[in-house]
Structure 1
Amino acid sequence: MALQTCFALSSQAPYYQSNSPKSCFPKTVFSISLSKASFLTGNNDPLPLSFCSSKRKLNLAILALIINGSLPNISKTTLALELEQLQRYTDPKEGFTLLIPFSYVKVDKAGATVLFEEINKASNNVGVVVNPVRLTSLGEFGTPQFVADKLILAEKRKESTKEAEVIGVAERSGHGGLQVYEFEYKVDSTRGGMKRIFSAAFVVSKKLYLLNISHSDKPESPLATQTRMMLEEVLHSFDIA
C-alpha cells in the first residue's frame, strides 16, 4: 500500500512540513455512515438479525421523509442507491468505522488490519491498515498536498507501476474535529492494469489509520458514475468510531 509506505518513515525520521497549497475534489452531498467488521464474522457469515431489522427501519424512515418531501435537496435515486448498496462496519479492536458495499466480503490478508474484496473480483477491494507512529496528528507530517506528492512518488517507485497521477487532494474534519486527509489517484501497472485509488488517513493516539480503496478503471470498462459515488461514500465515511 503506497500510502502506508509514504508514512513508514514517520516513526524514525524527522517530521516534514510543506507550504504547498491545498486542493480538493467534489464530495457527495449526503452520507449514511456504516462500519466494517461488526456485521461480518467470516467470509460467508450472514448479517445479524438486529442489524437487518435496524436497516429496514432506517430505510422505511428515510423513505417516509422522501415521500413527505422532507428531503428536497437530496437526490432520491442517489439516496436509495446508497441505502441499498452500503452497510456500516466498525472495528471493535482498533476503533475505526466506515461504509462497506454489500457486494464485498471480509477476507484475511497478512499486513492488513481488515480487508474486504468484491465477490468474484478480488482486485476491487477496501482495506484498512493501522500502525503505530511518532506523530500525534497528520499536520506534523505535512499538508495534504505534501503527503499526496509523497504518495505518488512511492507508487512510481514500484517496479510494476507504468504510470501514476494524482486526481484530487482534500482535508476534512472527522469525529471530534479529527484531521482527515483524502486522496484520489489513478495507477497503471503491470499488475492489474488501470486502477482508480481512493485513500484516506488520520492519526489518533499515535496510531496511523490508513484506508485504501482500489477499483478497476480500464479504458474498455471505465469506472461507472454510480460505482464512483458509492466508493466516494466509503471514502468520506472513514472515521474514528
Structure 2
Amino acid sequence: MGRVTSPASSPCFGGLPVSIPSTSSSFSHLHTRRNPPLILLSRSSPSTTEGSITSVRTSNRRSFALSLLLPPVSLALSSSSSFAARPLDLDRYTDEAEGFTLLKPASWAKVEKAGATALFEQDGKGTNNVGVVVNPVRLSSLEEFGSPDFVAEKLIQAEMRKESTKHANLLVAAERSSRGGLSVYEFEYTIDGTRGGLKRIFSAAFVASKKLFLLNIAHSDPPEKPLDAETRAVLEQVLHSFDTP
C-alpha cells in the first residue's frame, strides 16, 4: 500500500493532484453551491417536525435511496478528541470487490462494525472515524436522487428526525465528477446533539454499478476547541479522494 504524507505530498483525486490548501476550504475546484437556501433546523423550529424524507412525494425508489444517504448511527462521532497534534500520513485504501477507493489516515485501523462496509478508527479514540457504506439500489445515476441541494435538504431533515439531534446546519452542497465521469455529491454540515455535542460531518456519495457508495467523515467541532485548518485540510483530502478504483 502506497503512503502519502500530508501536507508534504499531494495525493491524487480522480487522477488529478490534490494539494492541501492554504485556506480553510478546498471546495473551489468543485461545482459548489456555497449559498444554498440556508438549512438551519432546531427542535424549536416548526419545519423540524414537518420535515422528513417520507414527506416528499417521490417515487418509492428515490425515497428508499435517499434514506440510504443517512450515515449509520455506528459511524457517528460522539467524542471531543481531535485527529492528532502532528500531521497525519495518508494511505490509499481500495476495495476492489465493492468498487471504491479513498485515502485514510495511515495509523487508523480498519475495524468491523455492523452497517459499515469499511470503517477506520483513530487509535484510542474510536469515535473519530471515517466510514464507507455500500448498498444496492435500482437507480443508475446519482442525478435520479435529485440535485445536490435537494438531497442535502432531505439529508438535514432526516438528521433532525433523530432524537439525539438538537440542531443541524448545512454548510456546503457540492458536485464534482469522478475519475470515470460519474457525478459525486459532497456535503458539509454540522450537528449539535445530546451525544457528543457539536460535530462536523463531511459526506460524499455516488452511484455506480447499481450501488450507492456513501462516505461519512465525522469530527468534533466544539466552540471551545474548533476544527483547526490543518485537520480540516486532511478531512477534505479524504473527502475528495473518494472514487471508483
TM-score (norm 2): 0.65
Q: Do 1:162 and 1:189's aligned partners in 2 also have CA atoms closer than 8 Å? A: yes
Which residue of 127, 146, 151 maps to 1:147? 151
The counterpart of 2:116, out of the listed 88, 92, 112, is: 112
Asked if 2 retains the 8 angstrom alpha-carbon contact of 1:114 and 1:127, the reply is yes
Correspondences of 1:41-80 after superposition (within 5 Å): none
Q: Distance in 2 between matches of 1:176 and 1:85?
A: 26
Distance in 2, matches of 1:197 and 1:104, equals 18
Cα separation, 1, equivalents of 2:62 and 2:224: 42
CA distance in 1, matches of 2:123, 2:182: 33
2:186 paired with 1:214 = no
Coordinate RMSD, CA, aligned = 2.3
Q: Are residues 15 and 92 of structure 1, via their aligned partners in 2, closer, same or farther at CA, if it must alter by over 3 Å?
A: closer
| Alignment partner, residue 190 of structure 1 | 194
Deviating 4+ runs (over 2 angstroms): none
Secondary structure in structure 2 of the residue aligned to 1:139: helix
- Percent identical among aligned pairs is 64
CA deviation digits over 1:148-203, x for unaligned, max 9? Answer: 00100010000000110001010000021111000000001111111100000000
Q: 1:6 to 1:136 in 2, by over 3 A?
A: farther
Partner of 2:60: 13
User: Which structure shows the bigger proportion of residues in strand conformation?
Assistant: 2
Which residue does the alignment assign to 1:66?
A: none
Q: Tell whether 2:220 aligns with 1:200.
A: no
In 2: Cα distance, 1:91 partner to 1:159 partner: 34
For residue 100 of structure 1, the aligned residue among 87, 104, 114 is 104
Task: Give, in angstroms, the shift of residue 103 of structure 1.
Answer: 3.2
5+ residue gaps, structure 1, are 17-80
Aligned length: 170
Higher relative contact order (CA 8 A, sep 6+): 2
Q: CA deviation at 1:102?
A: 2.0
SS of residue paired to 2:119: strand
What residue in structure 1 maps to residue 140 of structure 2?
A: 136
C-alpha distance 179-6 of structure 1, shift in aligned 2 (>3 A): farther
Is 1:226 equivalent to 2:224 in the alignment? Answer: no
